[in-house]
């Protein structure tokens, strides 16, 4: 914690300031601020909401409503690597259900759950815009396309 009681490290506050400088309003930097904070803490807690609100001169609700509106912000703790498996039409047509089932089986979780070691949380996802490589999933920021159930272990091993 900084002296002011803000949970955000100075380096993140500086990044938020740089982002805010691009726009005529500080509020426009809120998604970036939440993204930086989430990269640091893994999820958006009430303390993070409060801290971001302080840095950007916003009401806490103005930050929280954004954190809760967008899919990529987690308002509860999740695994270090969120796994988002596309289950929309183009992936469905090419075996997304098999990928989802196989993944859950390998990790011993149901959709929406986090592995016991805290590494992965598996989410069914809406179209991620990689239908040419269906079926696909995103692990953290990385896209993995043309998935086959047999190749999942090798991909997962890269995320420790």
Residue 102 Cβ, how far from other proteins at the closest point, in Å? 19
Give 143 or 159: the residue with its C-beta nearer to other proteins. Answer: 143
* Under 8 Å between Cβ of 119 and 159: yes
Residue 45 Cβ, how far from other proteins at the closest point, in Å? 17
Give 67 or 107: the residue with its C-beta nearer to other proteins. Answer: 67
Give 43 or 90: the residue with its C-beta nearer to other proteins. Answer: 90
* Under 8 Å between Cβ of 136 and 128: yes
Applying CB under 8 A, the residues found at the interface with other proteins are: 22-25, 27-32, 34-35, 56, 62, 65-66, 69-73, 84, 87-90, 92-94, 126-134, 138, 141-143
* Under 8 Å between Cβ of 143 and 128: yes
Cα dihedral angle (143, 145, 150, 152), rounded to 10 degrees? 10
Q: What's the angle, vertex CA 113, arms to CA 95 and CA 135, rounded to 5? A: 15
Q: Would you say how long the chain is, in residues?
A: 160
Residue 1 Cβ, how far from other proteins at the closest point, in Å? 25
Residue 60 Cβ, how far from other proteins at the closest point, in Å? 14
């Amino acid at each position: 914690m900084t002296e002011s009681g803000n949970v955000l490290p100075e380096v993140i506050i500086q990044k938020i300031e740089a982002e805010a400088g691009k726009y005529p309003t500080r509020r426009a930097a809120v998604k970036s601020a939440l993204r930086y904070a989430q990269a640091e803490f893994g999820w958006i807690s009430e303390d993070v909401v409060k801290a971001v609100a302080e840095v950007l001169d916003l009401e806490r609700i103005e930050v929280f409503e954004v954190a809760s509106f967008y899919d990529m912000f987690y308002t509860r703790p999740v695994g270090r690597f969120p796994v988002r498996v596309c289950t929309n039409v183009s992936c469905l047509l090419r075996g997304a259900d098999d990928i989802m089932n196989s993944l859950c089986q390998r990790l011993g979780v149901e959709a929406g759950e986090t592995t016991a070691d805290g590494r992965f949380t598996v989410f069914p996802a809406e179209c991620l815009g990689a239908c040419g490589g269906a079926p696909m999933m995103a692990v953290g920021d990385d896209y993995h396309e043309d998935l086959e159930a047999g190749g999942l272990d090798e991909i997962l091993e890269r995320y420790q």
